[in-house]
Amino acid sequence: MAGASLKKLRKTYGNVIAVEGVDLEISDGELIVLLGPSGCGKSTTLRMVAGLESISSGQLLIDDRDVTKLEPKDRDIAMVFQNYALYPHKTIRANMAFGLKMRGMEAGEASRCVNEAAEMLDITHLLDRKPGQLSGGQMQRVALGRALVRDPAIFLLDEPLSNLDAKLRARMREEIALLQRRIGKAMLYVTHDQTEAMTLADRIVIMRDGQVQQIGSPLEVYDRPANAFVAGFIGSPEMNLLAAEISGGRLILGDGVSMSAPEGPNLKSVTVGIRPEALEPASEGLPFSIQGVEQLGSQTLFIGQVGNHRLRAMTGRQDNISVGDTISLKTSPSSIHLFENESGMRIRNNEE
């Protein structure tokens, strides 16, 4: 099949394990995002696929070929870097055609490929300029175009939007998503930005300390996080994680505060997860002492205390609640996530 297959990929530096046994199938036309905090192994995994890092053990197939030991030029990949990596003294046309020239493509055919990619990315009018005459967003399009002309089996993108401002990042996310659907090729995309991951990915691979924590669609990892780390990493604002005791069908949060426990778990101590957007003001419920209010236009973010726990609640716009107020919050049992204290693993309950 077209695409790529990562089979127990492992990378070590002496006694340090950077990536531990990544198993991943990337289908043709699928956009996979490697997501995680700095140092989690996501970029190292991408660089092993690119051939920029040697593979300590495991196997890598691209388009059904074993490329584990092949040089980057022989892997049929194209890579877009964080820093664009454009030649400042060459025109945009020459930058985009350079890789094709190095591969021995005839000049007329190379020019046709460049023109097609430039039209797709709406940069035809920039082809005779040099990188110094372009904005950050335009240079990012050129970097994408340079990869696009290669027509590889898989595209590799390493934090491609991190140098752009927030508004331009959002626009480029849309353009990359549209481009990927149009060309129908596999993409492996690295980011630490969970908004990029949620909006772009067909599937997200969440990593921590060199290990894969969960693989799933954006909504799968949001609705059913495999463990407390994933729960706290996916979502903005992040999920509230609270220590609790289960007693008499109640979750005891301490300081006289409790709530109904989901049916099923037979544990004494758990970690309770509640997303801020699953909480809403009510006539009765959890007593919530408000210490901060962030007005976000159509939504309001409250920061405060429930018992001895710090809590965030994201509600619809609220104009009449201020710092110092105490209100009640409610949530449904189906919105409560439970995790084991020691392992952090998700506990299934009868509500699911």
pLDDT score recorded for residue 55: 97
230 φ/ψ angles, rounded to the nearest 5 degrees:
-60, -40
Which one, of 129, 14, 16, 152, lies nearest residue 72 by Cα? Answer: 152
In the numeric block, the tokens 């089996």 are attached to: 153
pLDDT tens digits, 142-159 = 988 888 888 889 999 999
Q: How confident is the model over 215-260, as pLDDT tens digits?
A: 999 999 999 999 999 999 998 899 999 999 888 888 888 888 888 8
Does position 276 have pLDDT exceeding 70, yes or no?
yes
Classified by CATH at the fold level, domain 3-229 comes out as: Rossmann fold (3.40.50)
Contact 79, 71 (CB under 8 A): no
Q: How does the average pLDDT of the chain come out, rounded?
A: 90
Given a cut of 70, is residue 350 above it in pLDDT?
A: no
- Cβ burial, residue 15 (10 Å; 0-12/13-18/19+): exposed
Chain region(s) in the chain for CATH 3.40.50.300:
3-229
| Distance of alpha carbon 183 from alpha carbon 30, whole angstroms | 11
Every domain of the chain with CATH number 2.40.50.140 lies at: 239-347
Instruction: Please state the separation of Cα 17 from the chain's center in Å.
Output: 22
pTM above 0.85, yes or no: yes
Question: Do residues 190 and 158 touch, judged by C-beta distance below 8 A?
Answer: yes
Q: Options 2.40.50.140, 1.10.10.60, 2.60.120.510, 2.60.410.10; which CATH number does 239-347 get?
A: 2.40.50.140
pLDDT digits (tens, 9 = 90+) for 101-129: 888 888 889 899 999 889 888 899 999 99
Q: CA 147 to CA 155: how far, in whole Å? A: 7
Contact call for residues 216 and 227 (beta carbons, < 8 A): no
Mode of pairing for the β-strands spanning 240-247 and 286-295: unpaired
What CA–CA distances, in Å, run from 118 to 93, 205, 294?
A: 9, 31, 42
Burial tier of 163 (Cβ tally within 10 Å: 0-12, 13-18, 19+): middle
How far are the Cα atoms of 224, 226, 349 from residue 265, in angstroms, in the given order?
Answer: 16, 16, 6
